[in-house]
Each structure stands twice: as C-alpha cells, then as structure tokens.
Amino acid sequence: MPDNIRSVGADWQPPSQQAAFRQIMNCFAYPGRLGQLATEAKHGLPLLLATLVDRSNRLADPHRLLDEDEHRRLGASPGSPEMSQFVVQPGAYPPDFQPMLGSLENPEQGATLIVVAERLGTGGSLHLCGPGIDGTATIAVQGVDPSWWQKREQWNASFPLGVDMIVVAGCQVLALPRTTRIDLKGVN
Amino acid sequence: MNPNYELPLDEADYSFGFLDEFAKREVRRTILKAISIPGYQTPYASREMPMGRGFGTGGLQLTLSLIGQDDTLKVIDQGSDDSVNAVNLRHFVELTCPGVNTTERTTEATLIQSRHRIPEVDLTESQVLILQVPYPDPLVVVEPSEAKRKVMHGEGDYSRLLTKLYEDIVQFDEITISHRYPTRINGHYVIDPSPIPRYDVPRLYRSKALILLGAGREKKIYAVPPYTVTEPLAFDDVPFRTEDFRDANGHRRACGRCGATDSFLDELIAEDGSKAWQCSDSDYCNQRLAELAQEVSA
C-alpha cells in the first residue's frame, strides 16, 4: 500500500481534470478496460478525487490514505463510510462497512467506492460481463481482498440499488459500475 | 446570434467551456451515475446558459463538461450541420472553448452533439454521442406525478405505458408514436430516446459509442452505455417497425440529391405541391456526392 499519496499542482488544474474525467468515463462506459490518469504524481488517487469530489460531497477516508492537506484542498465534508457518497478504502483490507445503496426512487444515491489496489493487469483475474462489455472481459487485479467482490455482489443484488466501484492502482483506473457482473468462480 | 458578438472575456474571465469547475464536476458525477444505471434519469442542477431552455442547454452542458482541447466536435440539428440550432451551438463552443476543433464530418468527430438524429454512419468506440432531450420521461403521458413516476421506473412498472400503446392499436391499428419511441434499456428502465425518428431507434442497440442524453429544462441526464441491449416497447403480435420509405409501387425511395436508398429521408414539398425526398443526414449525403464525383472523374 502506498503510504504517501500526494497530489502535484497540476492535479488541481481544469485541463488535467478534464483529461482524467474522460479516462474515468471511458472506464465506466467500457468496464474491464484500464484507464490511465495523466499526472506527474506517484499515485492517481488525488487526481481522481479532485476530478470528482468537491465541497458538495461527503467523503469517507477511514484509513487516512490522504493527509489533512489533501482533504482540505478537496473541501469535501468528512463522513463515515456508511453515510458518504464517496468512500476511499485500501483494497488489502476486507470491507467492514455497509455503504449507501440509494433507494428505488433515487438509486444514484448509492455510494461510489474507490478501492486502492496494488496493481492492475496482473494478479487474480476477474471475468466480467454486462453493459459496456462486448461479450465478456477479463481483468487482473492485485491487492484487493476477494471478500470485496462477494460484498459487492450482495450490495448490487437488487438493481437499481447498489454501489459503483473504481479500482485505482498507481495511475491506472478500472471502473466496475453496478451493472457489471463478476464471475466469482475464478476468484480466490 | 449576432455573428460579430464576442463574449466579454476580459471583463468576465469565463473559464474554458463557459461552465465553472463546480458545475462541470457535478455534471461529470451525474454522467458516471447515469452510465452506471442505464436509462435512469439522473437529476442534476442544470445551470443557466446564455440561451433559452429548450434550445439544447442539456446537451450543451454535457458537451462543455466533456470537451477538451484535443477534441473534435460535430453539432447537428435534425441531421443537418447548417441549421440554426446547430450553427449557434457550434459557434458558442468555438467562442468558449478556444483551441477545440469543429467538423461537419461524422467520422472525424470525437464528440457529436445532436438534436433529433443519430448519424447514418455507424459510430465507433472513440466517439461519444450527446443527444438533446426536450421531454425525458416517457411515463409523463400516463402519470402526471413525478414522485409516482420515479417509483414506477424503479419497479420497472410500465404496464400503463403498454396499455397506452395497446389502446393505439385498438383505435388506429398501429402504434401512433412517430418519434420519442419508448425504449427499454438493459431490461429495466424505459427511456424517451429524445425525438429521434423510429428509424434511429434500432441503432441504439449494442451501439459501439457511448450515448448520453441531456435534458436541460427538466434537469435530467441519462445514458445508453455501449454494447447494451435496447428494445423498443412492442407486442409479440405487433412488432416494432420503422418508417416506410416505399412508394406506391413498393420501390424504396431514393435521395433526390445523392441517390441513396439506405438513409433516412426528409420529405420536401415544392411550391407547386410536388414532393421530393432527400437524405436527412447532410454529411452522409455530401460524402456520397463526393464519392460519386470522384468515381465520375476517375
């Protein structure tokens, strides 16, 4: 787990965030494909958060992956993982919380979980299918506890309720919207 | 819009893309939720734009939140690059997004903002189609309360909408919806796919490009992700059908300009009352003409 995730100045600039958003949106549109966040920082997490989160959101970071300065720059209200729209968690630890799943009338209020992995492209393979995927897709993820995938399946059992996940490792991102089904047979 | 009008950049210090970064971020968060819940009308705080609501402000806010300096934008209105709405929106983006390229060629564009048509040429994975939507909710014809409609959408309860279609068949022998045809996305939500003709509805099915729909006045954004199953509502014994371009002898009408028999045609009525047909997609028609001219000169 990177213990020093810090932003660089350009992460807070509109052109970087526009480019980052297009990568993230592409990842949501085509789950299983990796996006590359263009930043000179060692880790893409601050740019990812700067692109999506601001003072109108509640952000939970119970493992303090970002330091106080970064949180101050983001300006999001701190919250518990159970009550926040955005939750940042290290993938190495199994999830020990119940995120917001939204309601039947407002499913968009389901949380966005940002899981920090060690590496994408190597490690245990996930087999994916669903909207945005032409047939099936396979993606390798290293450094995410397998219980995340089981929990995710439970959280997303009653569509349209559910959570959307972004896995970030270094400057690479992978999105798993709630409609993406993961074949858990191969996961260990 | 006055062609000599210039935004007072020095005084107001507009940011790239006109919208402030908080507005863009909100639209971006909404887009991600809209993709994650295909067909769900995700609410957002639609900003005031320097044009009237109903003139494509929803699509424009999507475009401005997505666009970057390496993008090439195409704006079309009913298939045409040259109609008033398209020209004004394109001009506005050129004013507020310095450095962005605009084009009339479908194949060159990375972002395509469209009013009421999907381009004839198949879109690719590197393109995003943004449709302007006047009325996003297909249930509004059967249920006036938005709170109740939201429950009906959540439960996937479209029985009253199907009843409406059935009543059409009883009364007129066919479903009388010519555009805005209700379409089910990924087996759950039914959307109003914006006033595209029926001809365009099957082209939502497993589209390679992401399709975003923005309704500025109604403050809703929804999406049809790529490779997603879309089904126009129909009945087993009354299947969905598209516009019929055959003449009285059963021949498919051709475009009077380029001769295409595989495109959506606009019916033009001349002053003497005679009718002519022409491709609705002006870029498609122009490209065909250019190809034909090349063949003749070769």
pLDDT, tens only, A12-49: 999 999 999 999 999 999 999 999 999 999 999 999 99
Asked whether the beta carbons of residue B228 and residue A131 sit closer than 8 angstroms, the reply is: yes
Q: Which residues of B touch A175 (CB under 8 A)?
A: 32
B255 a catalytic residue: yes
Best B13, B35, B100 member to test A by mutation, with max A CBs in 10 Å, is B35
Q: How many angstroms away from the CA of B191 is the closest CA of chain A?
A: 15
Asked whether the beta carbons of residue A30 and residue B155 sit closer than 8 angstroms, the reply is: no
pLDDT for position B188: 97
pLDDT, tens only, B112-138: 999 999 999 999 999 999 999 999 999
Best B27, B37, B191, B206 member to test A by mutation, with max A CBs in 10 Å, is B37
Structure-block tokens of residue B116: 């009421």
Contacts with A152 (C-beta within 8 Å, 6 or more apart), sequence order = A163, A165, A176, A182
Q: Is CATH 2.70.70.10 the right assignment for the domain spanning B9-141+150-232?
A: no
Strand ranges across the sheet with B101-102: B42-43, B220-224, B210-215, B128-132, B111-115, B72-77, B101-102
Which candidate from B34, B36, B151 shows the least CB-CB separation from A105? B151
pLDDT for position B170: 94
Helix H, strand E, coil C: the string for A92-122 is CCCCCCCCCECCCCCHHHECEEEEECCEEEE
Residues B106-117 have a mean pLDDT of: 97
Handedness of CA B233, B236, B238, B244 (dihedral sign): positive
Asked whether the beta carbons of residue B28 and residue A25 sit closer than 8 angstroms, the reply is: yes
Q: Is the pLDDT of residue A186 over 70?
A: no
pLDDT, tens only, A86-127: 999 999 999 999 999 999 999 999 999 999 999 999 988 999
Q: How many CB pairs under 8 A join A and B?
A: 106
Q: How many angstroms away from the CA of A11 is the closest CA of chain B?
A: 13
B97 a catalytic residue: no
Position with higher pLDDT, A55 vs B3: A55
B285 a catalytic residue: yes
Rounded Cα gap, residues B265 and B277, in angstroms: 6
From the candidates B17, B39, B59, B79, give the one annotated as an active-site residue. B39
Show me where the domains of chain B are located: 9-141+150-232, 245-298
Best B21, B25, B36 member to test A by mutation, with max A CBs in 10 Å, is B36
On whether any CB of chain B is under 8 Å from the CB of A17, the answer is yes
Using a 10 angstrom Cβ sphere, with 0-12 exposed, 13-18 middle and 19 or more buried, the burial of residue A97 is middle
pTM over 0.90: yes
Using a 10 angstrom Cβ sphere, with 0-12 exposed, 13-18 middle and 19 or more buried, the burial of residue B174 is exposed
From the candidates B54, B79, B258, B259, give the one annotated as an active-site residue. B258
Which candidate from A30, A164, A179 shows the least CB-CB separation from B32? A164
CA-nearest residue to A109 within chain B is: B33
pLDDT more than 70, % of chain A: 96
Q: Is the pLDDT of residue B10 over 70?
A: no
ipTM of this complex > 0.85? Answer: yes
Q: Is the pLDDT of residue A53 over 90?
A: yes
Whether the bond into B197 is cis, omega within 30 of 0? no
pLDDT for position B174: 86
CATH number, span A9-186: 3.40.50.11310
pLDDT, tens only, B165-223: 999 999 998 888 989 999 999 999 999 999 999 999 999 999 999 999 999 999 999 99
Q: Which residues of A touch B25 (CB under 8 A)?
A: 17, 51-54
